[in-house]
Amino acid sequence: MAGTETHYTLDLPKFDKAVKLLIVVAPYYKDIADDLIAGARAVAEKAGASVDLVEVPGALEVPSAIGMAYRMADYDGFVALGCVIRGETTHYDTVCNDSSRGLTRLGLSGACVGNGILTVENREQAVVRADPNGQDKGGGAAAAALHLVALTRKWARQTKGMGFKPSGEFRIAGETEGPASA
Active site residues per annotation: 91
Candidates 112, 143, 148; CA nearest to 39 is 143
Which amino acid is residue 101, in one-letter code?
R
Distance between CA atoms of residues 49 and 149, nearest Å: 11
Distance between CA atoms of residues 116 and 45, nearest Å: 17
Distance between CA atoms of residues 116 and 103, nearest Å: 10
Distance between CA atoms of residues 182 and 180, nearest Å: 7
Contact of 138 with 130, CB cutoff 8 Å: yes
Which amino acid is residue 85, in one-letter code?
I
Candidates 75, 78, 88, 33; CA nearest to 58 is 33
Candidates 71, 66, 69; CA nearest to 114 is 66
In this structure, what DSSP letter does residue 2 have?
G
